[in-house]
Structure 1
Amino acid sequence: MVLNNQGRYKEAEILQREALYGYETVLGREHPDTLASMNILAMALDNQGRYKEAELLQREALYGYETVLGREHPNTLTSMNGLAMVLNNQGRYDEAELLQREALYSYESVLGREHPNTLASMNGLAMVLNNQGRYKEAELLQREALYSYEMVLGRKHPNTIDSMDNLASVFRKLGKLEDAGHLQRQALEGYTEVLGGDHPHTLVSMHNLGEVYQDDGMYTKAEAMYQQALRGLESVMGPEHPSTQRTRRKLAECLSHSLEGKSISVDS
């Protein structure tokens, strides 16, 4: 789990595969500790962009938790959240929304509205709504999650910064570019301070700030953000990771716009 949080996903995968084999050998495939190990391995795969493998593991873990602990046990709900995230990453937003809503309702019933697990589920649902283009709904949920995270965990906690980053994305899609830029810069500063400049979350946040600049017509600033993010993502995540490819595409858009601008200038 520590390696996952540090963004060292390949190392996390190797260790977690060993742990899962050990748990399964000693305790059996459906023991809660085995299922927890399965969950963590699925997260490492999801973070590497290996969504199909992650989905298979998450589905098995969720089924196991439901069988052993019941549908509303916090461990089951954590697994439900994890599967929803994998589905969201694959663009299967309707399926992800159903799972996130169920997890959020159950978390709230079992743990309360302001528990960190409830807030993580709220955050996940807001991300799905954002991806579905339901920006107003996403904004309301994301504002609540961010406010509560700040109260419960503090401004510098990684979960709070995640929520800040997500709300900035909603603002950008709503065309609130000043608000988006202000919040995105705060998120980037927070990630850099708390996780370091080479952490995947920091690099993705850098990309996100580039998108704000690009939408605001500030192509030189956007290009600089994309280039820095791309160098880091290629090094940390590899050239084929979905986040790396996305940044490469956005940088190409910026470079293409700059070339078009120079061409118009020469022609005139």
Structure 2
Amino acid sequence: MILTTCAACAAPLAHDAPRCVRCHTRYCNATCQHDHWRRGHKQMCKKIHRGGNAEQYNADKKYKEAVAVAVEACADDTKGQTCFICTQALHWKTKEGLVRGCACRGTAGFAHVSCLAEQAKILVAEVEENNLGNDAFNARWRRWASCSLCEQEYHGVVRCALGWACWKTYVGRPETDAPRQIAMNQLGNGLQLANYNEDALSVQEAELAMKRRLGASAGHVLAVQGNIANTYQKIGRLEQALQMRQDVYSGTVMVRGREHIDSLAAANNNASTLNCLRRYGEAKTLLRDLIPVTQRVLGEGHLITLKMRWLYAMALHHADDAATLDDLREAVTTLEDSERIARRVFGGAHPTTDCIELELRDARAALRAREASPGGQ
């Protein structure tokens, strides 16, 4: 995580907390700073300073750890392959191995995290140096999160490693700098997608505090709140997640309109939390209304569309005694169609494809059990 707690006692810190004059390590107060100095910071201070000071030093360290985890996780898949950017098996400088976490098929899509990061860094720098405008910036910034070959977003530990790569690239810039702000968002998303949820929450809360402190727009604040709600759900704080989901959905509709992609994503997230709370009737009502809209606006193969249909099928067949035979049949049909589309668009290794397939197995089992039971209704 980024450095949001005291180095001595781990208490949460204000953004303007006192810090070491040389290496900028932050503390609650002078007492904690003196205590930390005696307990070993004296020996590390110069090294941290030479490494770019505390936040940069921490980001570089976490990045190396995240790359090692990603390379190990992808080892079986990348054996015998080469990087599509530098064409080498081992990175010439870092000696790191390969990763792949997108929808590329066959021998495509293998890369070093360092090569992916350097590619993104160069593309964004060209936009900044030549003042190419927001559209060019947004298109090139996507390289920090998505594959340049298949255009699909990376996921899991690969996305986490890229999040740390992005953060370490821009952390040294002023807090008001736009790439630094977006890099914090990339890091929070990467941590969450790799299931480092407590760390993700820490980053997201720091990002929300920063947005409010700098007077960010309502849309930007709502986006961060949506990410926090995602993390609340993943760590089991469901009532807090639902309250924030509902606030984000209503706020996003007000700011963006009902058919904007951000509003549709917020609605989908709201339905996800309703399912987790076993409020299946509310989830079904919401999704029945919005799935046709999402299919029309985003298309059948969009990730949000597929997640909506998956959640709708889940609400149908998990509704306990309220689920009819027709509900179970509709759930199976919906999941079969969604699984086929997800596998074609994202590949079998994508987390959403995997979740749809697991749900399909459960729905088929529930349908078989109901059809075999006396009465079958």
TM-score range, shorter chain: 0.7 to 0.9
How has the CA–CA distance of structure 1 residues 19 and 6 changed in structure 2, closer, same or farther, with 3 Å as cutoff?
closer
Aligned position for 1:199: 350
1:77 has 2:222 as partner: yes
Change (3 A) 1:69 1:191: farther
- Report the TM-score when normalising by structure 1: 0.75
Q: TM-score, normalised by structure 2?
A: 0.54
Asked if the contact 1:69–1:76 (Cα under 8 Å) also holds between the matched residues in 2, the reply is no
Moved more, 1-10 or 146-155: 1-10
Is residue 2:204 matched to residue 1:58?
A: yes
**Which AA in structure 2 matches 1:191?**
A
* Contact 2:160–2:194, Cα closer than 8 Å, also in 1: no
Is the 1:107–1:117 contact (alpha carbons within 8 Å) kept by the matching residues of 2?
yes
Does residue 2 (structure 1) correspond to residue 146 (structure 2)? The answer is: yes
Give 1:138's match in structure 2, choosing from 266, 270, 283: 283
Match of 1:208 in 2: 359
Separation in 1 of the partners of 2:212 and 2:231? 19
SS at match of 1:2: coil
CA contact (8 A) 2:159 2:193 kept: no
State the 1:103 CA deviation.
0.9
The 3-state SS of whatever aligns with 2:289 is helix
Instruction: String of CA shifts for 1:33-81, please: whole Å, max 9, x gaps.
Output: 32322222222221222111111111111221222234x5222211111
The answer to whether the 8 A contact 1:6-1:195 is kept is no
The answer to whether the aligner puts 1:44 opposite 2:194 as a matched pair is no
Structure 2, unmatched stretches of 5+, are 1-144, 370-377
What's the CA shift for 1:32? Answer: 4.0
1:7 and 1:200 in contact (8 A); partners too = no
Amino acid at match of 2:157: K
Instruction: After TM superposition, give the deviation of residue 128 of structure 1 in Å.
Output: 0.7
Could you say which residue in structure 2 is the equivalent of 1:13? 160
Contact 1:158 1:194 (C-alpha < 8 Å) held by counterparts? no
Aligned to 1:226: none
1:152 alignment partner, SS class: helix
* 1:40–1:145 Cα change, 3 Å: farther
TM-aligned CA distance change 1:132 to 1:14, over 3 Å: same
The residue type paired with residue 203 of structure 1 is: D
Query: Residues 8 and 127 of structure 1: is their aligned pair in 2 closer, same or farther, counting only changes over 3 Å?
Result: closer
> Over aligned residues, Cα RMSD in angstroms?
1.9
Aligned to 2:104: none
**Mapped pair 1:159 → 2:310:** no
Say yes or no: does 1:95 pair with 2:246: no
Deviations 1:113-150 (A, max 9, x none): 11110110011111111111111111111222312111
- Distance in 1 of aligned mates of 2:350 and 2:301: 15
- Structure 1: tracts of 5 or more residues without a match: 219-268
Instruction: Tell me if 1:186 matches 2:186.
Output: no
Partner Cα separation in structure 2 for residue 33 and residue 13 of structure 1: 17
AA matched with 2:174 = L
Using the TM superposition, give the Cα deviation of residue 217 of structure 1 relative to its aligned residue in structure 2, in angstroms. 4.1
The DSSP-based 3-state class of the residue aligned with 2:338 is helix
Question: Aligned with 1:85: secondary structure?
Answer: helix
Answer yes or no: is the 8 Å Cα contact 2:268–2:304 preserved in 1. no
Aligned counterparts of 1:84 and 1:5: Cα–Cα separation in 2? 24
Q: Deviations over 1:175-217 (max 9, x none)?
A: 2211110111111111101101121211111111111123234
Alignment correspondent of 1:110: 255
Contact 2:155 2:193 in 1 (8 A): no
Structure number having the greater helix percentage:
1
Count of aligned pairs = 216
After TM superposition, give the deviation of residue 153 of structure 1 in Å: 1.0
Is the alpha carbon distance of 1:95 and 1:5 closer, same or farther for their aligned partners in structure 2, counting shifts above 3 Å? farther
Larger radius of gyration: 2
CA distance in structure 1 between the aligned counterparts of 2:152 and 2:360, rounded to whole angstroms? 22
Q: Helix, strand or coil for the counterpart of 1:69?
A: coil
**Aligned residue type for 2:248:** A
